[in-house]
Amino acid sequence: MREEDMETAIKVVIVGNGAVGKSSMIQRYCKGIFTKEYKKTIGVDFLERQLEVNNEDVRLMLWDTAGQEEFDAITKAYYRGAQACVLAFSTVDRDSFDAVESWKKKVEDEVGEIGMVIIQNKIDLIDDTVVNDEEAEDLAKRLRLRFYRTSVKENLNVEEVFRYLSEKYLDQINCEVEEPETKIAIGQGLMDGGGITNNSKDKDSSKSKNKKIGNGKTSNKHRFKLRNGEDSTIKLEPSKRRTRGKKAIVTAKCVIL
C-alpha cells in the first residue's frame, strides 16, 4: 500500500449521563440527521466518518456508550483502545454536569490519559439552564480540558469538537523523538544521575566527553583499553526491541492543551 493511500484511524468514545444527547451527536455528525425522539442506548452504538485533517486522511470510529449505571460493566470494555473522548453534559440536567469528573475517571481507569473535551450540549435551551457559564468554564480549567458549548439540534460546534480531537491526536503521534543521539543523551543523563539541566557548565562538560567527527556531528563512539593493552572502539547505539511491525508511539511524552 502506498503511503498516500494510508489513513489514521482514531477511536473516540462519547460518555456522559443518559439523555444528554450523545447518540444524537454522532447521528448528526455522521449522518447529518437529528430527531427529537429519545431512545435509550442499550450498551453501545457505533458509527464512522472519514475526514481530512492537516492533509491527512482520518477515519473516526465513534462509540456512543450508555449513560445508565446498569450498563457500566458492558460499556467499560468498549473504552479500551480509545484514543480520544468526549465528556458530555446537558444544559438542563444538573446531575449530568456533576458527573463529568466521574466519567473522566472511568475512562482513564481503563485507558490512561488520552485527548478529551468537555461539551455542554443543548445550549438552544439556555433559558432553562441549571448550569451557569462560570462554573462550567471553571470545571474545564480545573481539568485542563478544551470546552465547547454545543447544540446538536442546531448543529452548532459539533464539527469543531471532532476536528479538534483529530488534530490533537495527530499532534501527539507526530511528536516522536527520532534522533538516536537525543535518545542516548537522555539515557546517559538518567544513568549518571545528572538528570537534564540547562546549566551551561554541564553542557560544556558533556560536549568535551564526545569527539567531533569530520562532518561536525558528535560521535557516539567510545574508546577503551583491553586487558592485553590493545585499544578497541565500541559504538553506543539506542537499544532495540521487537515491536512486531508496530511503530513505537511517543518516545517523549507530549502534553498538548
The domain locations on the chain are 17-176
The residue ranking higher by pLDDT, 67 or 17, is 17
Query: How far apart are alpha carbons 91 and 85 in whole angstroms?
Result: 19
Query: Which residue in the block uniquely carries the three cell numbers 443518559?
Result: 18
Contact 32, 103 (CB under 8 A): no
The predicted model gives 64-73 an average pLDDT of 63
Q: What is the DSSP letter of 212?
A: B
pLDDT of the residue at 36: 73
Q: Please classify residue 6 by burial: count the beta carbons closer than 10 Å to its beta carbon, then call 0-12 exposed, 13-18 middle and 19+ buried.
A: exposed
Rg (CA), the chain: 25
Mean pLDDT, residues 207-222:
43
**CA–CA dist 151, 124 (Å, integer):** 6
Looking at the chain, which runs of residues are DSSP E strands? 8-15, 44-53, 56-65, 84-90, 115-121, 146-149, 221-225, 231-235
- Lowest-confidence segment of 158-167, 182-191, 207-216 by average pLDDT: 182-191
Give the CA distances from residue 68 to residues 26, 52, 73, 103, 255, in Å, rounded to whole numbers and listed in that order: 18, 34, 11, 12, 32
> Is residue 67 very low, low, confident or very high in pLDDT (cuts 50, 70, 90)?
low
Per the model's pLDDT, the better-predicted residue between 124 and 7 turns out to be 124
Cα separation, 56 vs 54, in Å, equals: 5
Does the pTM surpass 0.75? The reply is: no
Architecture of domain 17-176: 3-Layer(aba) Sandwich (3.40)
Residue 152's nearest CA partner among 66, 33, 50 is 33
pLDDT band for 206, please (50, 70, 90 cuts). Answer: very low
Give the mean model confidence (pLDDT) for residues 21-37.
Answer: 87
pLDDT at 91 exceeding the cut of 90: yes
Query: Residue 144 above 90 pLDDT?
Result: yes
CA-wise closest residue to 187 among 239, 134, 141: 239
Query: So what's the pLDDT on residue 111?
Result: 94
Give the three cell numbers for residue 220: 557516539
The average pLDDT across 93-116 equals 95
Comparing 197 with 158, which gets the higher pLDDT?
A: 158
Give mean pLDDT, residues 123-139: 96
Residue 38 has what pLDDT?
Answer: 56
At 64, the pLDDT band (50, 70, 90 cuts) reads confident
- Predicted confidence band of residue 68 (pLDDT cuts 50, 70, 90): low
Quick check: 89 pLDDT over 50? yes
* Residue 40 pLDDT class (50, 70, 90 cuts): low
- What's the mean pLDDT in 19-37? 88
